[in-house]
Chain A
């Protein structure tokens, strides 16, 4: 909680700080937990239900932890026409999980995201902070290295 207080102390507590605050909490903990919600609510004086309302509107926010390796496959138009669906299905088969899930050992999680801006080298995916491009069923291994 000390870490959380450190994050909170960087803000004035205005309503317009809400989204950046949630972003900071998520980048620190990997997700936003109930205990964080409570603190954020006390700090900003915005009711928890309303914070949930805001947070769930944006796809960036998650309320369960990610895997150690988080794979976000792009489903933008360029990636779609070059085979993003095959990439997602390939990863799902490899990890035996569905999109949006985390492997039971917490190693990997998979999700689909909007355009990563790497469309010229489609299909693309982001693995933690690194973008892997020109993926194919053959090169899927790139994602698990």
Chain B
């Protein structure tokens, strides 16, 4: 069958599923599975079998509302689809018996509807506040298609971008990418078209393409989610890029910590081969491509392009000096383009929908949308996509729903270890490449870690330095030893051994490391210290001068105590204390032995919901 015919058939089947069938979609990306999606699926299967009711069960990816996972979607003929969240075993049973079998939707568990038509008492999902501000383009298929079924992707217009690119020459494709204004989504924001052009200009026989799916940035999972939910959108971008730069071999470097993404990529690649979208003479065009998956082996620095190439070549993943840039001398010495997962998906989108549609949102210098993983102390954690230029405030408060437990916002860490912590008074900063740099942060790959008052900013800086120090490849002395020294200074401060001198040592070290390091890991490693000292100097000074940790997080500065006025002697803390530090008998006020207490906070955690009698106080 020709691809056009396959597409027609798949469109019909997909529309049929959404308008004429009884079906359940199960959000079964890594996040959904960890929240219990597989358990919900098992229950649904059992209940359907018991009732002998005919209903399809389809695994889909993640729609991004991770905080209410597991999520399932019920499809009935002639009704809009209904998304349900927090689907426990009990809820799953109810949904089957009420909605699926009797056709009676359950308002109380519904997140919203999707598609044409209305259901009383349930709003449309995409009209909810947290969805309305979003512009789901890269994520358009996530949670709505079966990632292991190429037919679904084709039905949604997939591979039409590649078919269009097949009829264009490299200059035309590059011009389309330039018009779209897309910048690399892996961190630095380098214009994608320019990178592709450089590679062509190097004029060699063999070129390579690498899709960087290492996503080592802790707190970021956009790439994982996309690969698990819509792998073909990334693979289509790889086809387009490879065709443009005349590469016949493309590598996907994906971290081993993402087993489900790796599995779904393998399935998708096999489906491409079956449908004549990979291999020799693709779609009769004379273009050949092989895609090879390389599993990462757990080294953050391997996200850096030159280290990544060394790793593919079977070496230790250490960066090398640039120039020569990979586009002139890359993998196995040949010109190589390295692009991020989301950049690849953007290329597919641009060729599918056209440069103009792609760039009709965003700012003058930052076009299109960007996906973010919104995590930390924010209510609605998950995966979002917004037009560039949306403010941090809109993202955290309107989309994210504000701070958990109605706490107060302190900072948002953006750009991972290379980025910075943006404080409350910069919350109106628009998210675009230059504005973020203006407040000492950077776009990075898209991790947004929200922190509330209970987070100590010195401890956050120490945490990042510990991460970087561990992940430094060790090639440059300033990076290897300088970050260790910075870490020691920060550890001292959080342990109550800080001196005022430390505050002078830190900027000096920062200078040296920035100037003396070879790759961006070392060069950006002082950033967490630079932004936290810039915006939260009072916290540093408080640790050093007053021996107080304002967030009451650093163990050295705090102790736990039971308020005798509130304690009713319920024994909960006593029973749960792992070291037996709590004493007291039933119905009498309890006490904590400070010499035994290891400050783990279990007692406070457990008492919070009851009497809230355990409190953290300053130790001095």
Contacts and interface: CB of A to CB of B under 8 A. Distances in A.
Contacts of A19: 294-295, 297, 311, 314
B31 A121 contact: yes
Given A17-B314, A81-B460, A131-B34, A117 B383 contact: no
A114 B417 CA distance: 13
Contacts of A41: none
B527 to A, nearest CB: 14
A120 B317 contact: no
A89 interface: yes
B216 interface: yes
Interface size of B as a range: 35 or more
Interface string B454-488: 01000010011000000001000000000000000
B357 to A, nearest CB: 29
Given A77-B416, A120-B383, A132 B34 contact: yes
Given A89-B600, A114-B298, A120-B221, A23 B313 contact: no
Contacts of B600: 86, 89-90, 137
Interface stretch (B2-10, B101-109, B371-379): B371-379
A82 interface: yes
Interface stretch (A2-10, A53-61, A63-71, A99-107): A53-61
A20 B294 contact: yes
Interface stretch (B42-50, B251-259, B276-284, B536-544): B251-259
Interface residues of A, number: 50
B161 to A, nearest CB: 27
A132 B34 CA distance: 5
B257 A117 contact: yes
A81 B383 CA distance: 18
Given A15-B313, A15-B314, A76 B31 contact: no
B602 interface: yes
Contact of A23 (B216, B295, B576): B295
A131 B300 contact: no
A35 interface: no
B35 A133 contact: yes
Contacts of A79: 218
B70 to A, nearest CB: 11
A18 B314 contact: yes
B250 interface: no
Given A14-B314, A53-B316, A58-B317, A120 B373 contact: yes
Contact of A114 (B216, B295, B315, B376): B216
Contacts of B569: none
A67 B122 CA distance: 49
Interface of A: 14-20, 22-23, 46, 53-54, 57-61, 75-82, 86, 89-90, 93, 113-122, 124, 126, 129-134, 136-138
Return the 7 tightest CB-CB contacts between A and B, nearest first. A76-B218, A120-B66, A58-B297, A77-B219, A60-B298, A59-B298, A18-B314
14 contacts: A14-B314, A57-B317, A57-B318, A57-B473, A58-B298, A81-B460, A82-B376, A86-B601, A89-B598, A114-B298, A119-B449, A130-B33, A130-B34, A133-B31
